[in-house]
Amino acid sequence: MFQVGLPVIVAEGETYREGVITGYQLGGYGGDRYEISYNDDSHTTNVKRHQLLTLAEAQALGFETDNYDLSTPEAIAEMLDIHNEWRAKVGVAPLTWSDELVEHSKIWAEHLLAERDMYHRPVSQNPHGENLAKATKRHMTPSFVVNLWGSEVKDYDYESNQCMGLMCGHYTQMVWHETTQLGCAMAREDDFEIWVCSYDPPGNYAGERPYPMVETTALETASE
């Protein structure tokens, strides 16, 4: 039996859609049925058990090719490449992957998973920069996580070096020009997942800008 909150792939003829189980009815005429909320349009429908695949099953069969964790070289490359795409927009040198930072991130991700919560490691225990993301009742890809942080660019004003009253620290850490290394980890159980990225050297120092002034056209591109 699948649990409520589990992300799944639903087979609809020759198409496959990602959704989340929101309810179920066991037994009865026609066998077990599950209520699914689709990720693309939030439409809810009931489907039979044989139409459902876990993401791991769908990937094994070739129906789903996205990365939903950091367990493969391809997923790690995706996480690193998307970071570096954001950095390139403001003329900042690319990051390199650090296994040491991966282990550092993994410890904290597993701690947060055990608590089903999201908060930063105490500064006294963390010499690195840190970005966090969590999801419930869905699985995120590395690209989704990084672009979620990158979307904060719209709230960052370079001239005043302020976040316009909103949050933009995830973005500024990603593009911090003195940061050279990145290592990330994710932890998942049932319908909860947490992503942690660590950066070295850390950024987001008060009063400092994340990167030197670049051409206006580059800044406009970064905010698109």
Rounded to an integer, the average pLDDT of 211-223 is 63
**How far is Cα 187 from Cα 122, in angstroms, rounded to an integer?**
19
Q: Quick check: is 224 in a domain?
A: no
Which carries the bigger pLDDT value, residue 33 or residue 220?
33
175 and 103 in a single domain? The answer is yes
Give a yes or no: residue 177 inside a domain: yes
123-172 residue pLDDT tens: 999 999 999 999 987 788 999 999 999 999 999 999 999 998 899 999 99
Does the pLDDT of residue 11 top 70, yes or no?
yes
Cβ(96)–Cβ(172) under 8 Å? no
Query: CA nearest 52: which of 31, 81, 77?
Result: 31
How much is the pTM? 0.79
Residues 92 and 28 in one domain: no
CATH number at residue 170: 3.40.33.10
Of 42 and 36, the structure prediction assigns the larger pLDDT to: 36
Confidence of residue 217 (pLDDT cuts 50, 70, 90): very low
Per-residue pLDDT at 2: 82
| Structural domain contains residue 1 | no
Q: 4-8, 14-18, 63-67, 117-121: which has the minimum mean pLDDT?
A: 63-67
Confidence of residue 13 (pLDDT cuts 50, 70, 90): confident
Q: What are phi and psi of 149, to 5 degrees?
A: -65, -40
Range of the domain at 142: 73-200
- Does residue 81 sit in the same domain as residue 165? yes
209-223 mean pLDDT = 68
Average pLDDT score, the chain = 89
Rounded-to-integer distance, Cα 209 and Cα 84, Å:
18
Residue 223 has pLDDT above 80, yes or no: no
Question: 201: cis peptide before it, omega within 30°?
Answer: yes
CATH number where 48 lies: 2.30.30
Same domain, 105 and 185: yes
More confident residue, 185 or 136: 185
pLDDT at 169: 97
In a domain, 209, yes or no: no
Q: What is the pLDDT of residue 164?
A: 85
**Can you give the pLDDT at residue 80?**
98
- Total tally of structural domains belonging to the chain: 2
Closest CA to 67 of 130, 144, 12: 144
User: Does residue 218 lie within any of the structural domains?
Assistant: no
For the stretch 53-64, pLDDT in tens is 887 788 777 776
